[in-house]
């Protein structure tokens, strides 16, 4: 089959169509005819050579797909043949065929299109694990979400709002604020012109926020901590301003703040399966009722994967980019 790989580490131009073997489903896996594939920052990091697939995993890019089950491996229920699944995969999504673990997949709710379903798995697992498991976000609490207009941010807003939380977000384009608020944001802060730390303290009458979901790193971590309430939880997803930060431990101790971070790709099969059960119980009903929906910015034919990566790196994407056959 023809699939998208990076011929060498580099910019978007290194993405090419290349011949790869047709994947064969193993134990507990299904073979999917890919209907759409989501594009994510870890794909960019793999293309750049910063992140590499685990040993034995294909070099074909793509960590989330929507596909039709065409074959089942040992232990996978043959009744799944013909069903649409949305799946978190370790690689292989930028291709016409892809294998997926049943444990990391969901039957696509009828209201969702193929494109919408493909835009969800990576974000669902990431937000669920980081915001609700590590961050322990609970009803009635306040969360600050940076990078609110991204694929993770737009999903995090909706999931936090559905959980009965107050949602504060930051973005650099005020034209997007009305839609961010429609998704569930209670306060949108334009970070280039407004001190988000002070804005959070003002909005919470000096109390601060309970959880911060951060993708910036660098100096933002110090500023985030200043905006947090007693017992607050800081969760780092990425570090666009750098991974090296200076932390005053006395501040953490006196205010009982905690720091958390994770990436999804290195999580074990069992951990991802455990997360999937939580998502099936708590979040899938919200997708079925369309209380949560992905915001699609644009779609690209799979052969134009390079153009999709260039757009993602432009910083102008509002929501998700998706590849289609």
pLDDT at 4: 98
pLDDT at 218: 81
Q: Percent of the chain, pLDDT > 90?
A: 90
Is 265 in contact with 98 (CB distance < 8 Å)?
A: no
**What number of residues does the chain have?**
325
Average pLDDT, the chain: 96
pLDDT at 242 > cutoff 90 = no
pLDDT at 304: 97
Sheet with 228-236, strands from edge to edge, namely 187-190, 166-171, 142-145, 209-214, 228-236, 258-261
pLDDT at 248: 84
Cβ neighbors of 35 (< 8 A, separation 6 or more) are: 65, 66, 67, 68, 84, 114, 118, 324, 325
pLDDT at 160: 98
Give the integer Cα–Cα distance in Å for 301 and 304. 5
Element (H, E) at 319: none
pLDDT at 241 > cutoff 80 = no
pLDDT at 102: 98
| Segment 80-137, tens digit of pLDDT | 999 999 999 999 999 999 999 999 999 999 999 999 999 999 999 999 999 999 999 9
pLDDT-based confidence at residue 243 (cuts at 50, 70, 90) = confident
> 226-249 burial, b for 16+ CB within 10 Å, e for fewer?
ebbbeebbbbbbbbeeeeebeeee
Would you tell me the crossing angle of helices 305-313 and 41-48 to the nearest 10 degrees?
110
pLDDT at 219 > cutoff 90 = no
Give the integer Cα–Cα distance in Å for 210 and 113. 35
Compute the average pLDDT of residues 247-267. Answer: 91
> Which residue has tokens 């920052």?
41
> Which residue has tokens 């607050």?
232
Cβ neighbors of 37 (< 8 A, separation 6 or more) are: 62, 64, 65, 66, 93, 94, 98, 118, 302, 322, 323, 324
Q: Percent of the chain, pLDDT > 70?
A: 100
């Amino acid at each position: 089959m023809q699939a998208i790989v990076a011929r060498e580490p580099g910019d978007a131009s290194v993405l090419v169509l290349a011949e790869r073997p047709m994947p064969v489903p193993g134990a507990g896996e299904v073979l999917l005819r890919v209907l759409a594939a989501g594009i994510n920052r870890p794909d960019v990091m793999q293309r750049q050579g910063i992140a590499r697939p685990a040993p034995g995993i294909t070099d074909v890019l793509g960590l989330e797909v929507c596909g039709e089950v065409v074959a089942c491996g040992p232990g996978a229920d043959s009744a799944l043949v013909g069903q649409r699944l949305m799946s978190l995969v370790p690689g292989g999504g930028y291709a016409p065929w892809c294998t997926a673990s049943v444990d990391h997949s969901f039957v696509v709710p009828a209201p969702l299109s193929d494109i919408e379903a493909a835009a969800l798995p990576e974000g669902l697992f990431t937000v669920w694990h980081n915001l609700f498991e590590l961050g322990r976000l609970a009803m009635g609490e306040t969360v600050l979400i940076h990078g609110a207009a991204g694929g993770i941010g737009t999903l995090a807003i909706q999931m936090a709002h559905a959980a009965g939380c107050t949602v504060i977000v930051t973005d650099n384009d005020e034209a997007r604020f009305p839609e961010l608020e429609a998704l569930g944001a209670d306060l949108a802060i334009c970070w280039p012109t407004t001190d988000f730390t002070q804005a959070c303290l003002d909005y919470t009458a000096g109390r601060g926020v309970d959880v911060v979901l951060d993708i910036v790193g660098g100096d933002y971590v110090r500023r985030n901590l200043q905006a947090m309430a007693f017992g607050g939880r800081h969760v780092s997803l990425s570090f666009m301003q750098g991974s090296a930060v200076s932390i005053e431990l006395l501040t953490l101790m006196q205010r009982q703040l905690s720091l958390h971070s994770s990436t999804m790709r290195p999580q074990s099969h069992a951990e991802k399966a455990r997360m999937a059960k939580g998502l099936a119980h708590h979040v899938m009903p919200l997708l079925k009722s369309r209380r949560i929906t992905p915001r699609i910015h644009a779609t690209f034919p799979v052969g134009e994967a390079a153009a999709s990566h260039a757009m993602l790196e432009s910083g102008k994407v509002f929501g998700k980019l998706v590849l289609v056959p």
